[in-house]
Amino acid sequence: MQVRKLLPYFAQGIAIGLVIGLIFYFFAMPSATQQRPVVEIKESPHSTVVTTDGPASYANAVAIAAPSVVNINTTKLVSGQKHPLFNDPAFRRFFENQPQAPRERRDNSLGSGVIISEQGYILTNNHVIAGADEIQVALTDGRQAAAEVIGSDPETDVAVLKISLDNLPSITFGQSDSLRVGDVVLAIGNPFGVGQTVTQGIVSATERSHLGISTFENFIQTDAAINPGNSGGALINAAGELIGINTAIYSRSGGSQGVGFAIPASLVKSVMKQILEFGHTVRGWLGIEIQTINPALAESFGLKETRGIIIAGIMPKGPADIAGLKTGDIILQINGQAIIDGTDALNRIAQTPPGKEITLNGIRQGKPFAITAHTSSRPLPQNRAPR
């Protein structure tokens, strides 16, 4: 009797379950006409084997370039300090019979260079030879010669030397402006004085700047190992052509950590030509101190873009002062072309030959203005001490 009484409840539960199931089927599940999202992917129809057109060996490139890469040994005479007690009256009598002339010692340092002509001209870094009293060049064939400094440019860290020897091997310049990230490069030099060494890597980046290495920066970055002593050596492509002069590394330990920098051959060639023609570089100059526009300055001046420079100082009676530029002027264009930052502006001004007109467009006290100035010759910097 009790089971018979419970049957209606069981039937009711089954009916409710069927109704819920039908509702879920018709409303929760996608209908036959409902379209599912289609995700398109690319899939290879067969197994792909990656191949390369590069050579299995770079020995031919090294054989072409290596003879023109030289070792540079510099000697600097350094005056020693007098004994610290020499100026003390209580101890001076002990030094009466000793010579008072300061003692001298010889400091030697090593670097590298590249012969760029059969006449004996050699490219290297300014910091390799700065302050040197003697410069000795050693070739891979065992010959040695004293070198004369033809000229140097601390602002790009380039120096030109000359030796007098016959039958000199010279390197071929490559097209550094057409380099691409990923191109194979080889660094040749004399790291740690162990002898000529070749390391291989790729171009990690181009047009590197804001590194604080030199005034005018446009570096090739590479992971080819560059160590102390490599400075001034050649960075070549897979054809054995010069595409850069190795100049610096970024390192926490002092050794190579895969971040090296080379001056592009195009920039080196331009500096070299000026040194050979004038004995020094010739660049345009306006006599201004500049500051790059940052987001805070852009907001305070109501600028729509964070670019350009602000004049932070003007040299009295300099080209900018004569032209009428004022401290606080914002410069957004040079010769009709937008400028990005202070480095860009400095390069544009320097590339304008002395005596030529240069047009500056910007904002003064919230209003647009334009001024035409005549560049002067950039003052020659003093040599920096070797790094």
Give yes or no: 374 in active site: no
Rounded to an integer, what distance in angstroms lies between the CA atom of residue 303 and that of residue 288?
22
The catalytic residue among 109, 152, 153, 157 is 157
The catalytic residue among 109, 127, 176, 223 is 127
For residue 155, the cross-strand partners are none
Neighbours of 84 (CB within 10 A): 8
The DSSP symbol for 301 reads: T
Q: How far is CA 7 from CA 1, 10, 13, 20, 21, in A?
A: 10, 5, 10, 20, 21
Q: How far is CA 196 from CA 61, 112, 193, in A?
A: 15, 9, 8
Give yes or no: 157 in active site: yes
The catalytic residue among 68, 112, 152, 231 is 231
Q: Which distant-in-sequence residues (6+ apart) come within 8 Å of 321 by Cβ?
A: 287, 314, 315
Please name the helix (run of DSSP H) or strand (run of DSSP E) that holds residue 252, with its range, or none. Answer: none
Q: Which distant-in-sequence residues (6+ apart) come within 8 Å of 207 by Cβ?
A: 218, 219
Rounded to an integer, what distance in angstroms lies between the CA atom of residue 211 and that of residue 222?
14
Residue holding tokens 């010739």? 282
Give the tokens for residue 193: 């004085």
Length of the chain: 387
**Contact status, residue 259 vs residue 251, Cβ threshold 8 Å:** yes
Rounded to an integer, what distance in angstroms lies between the CA atom of residue 71 and that of residue 139?
7
Active site positions, annotated: 127, 157, 231
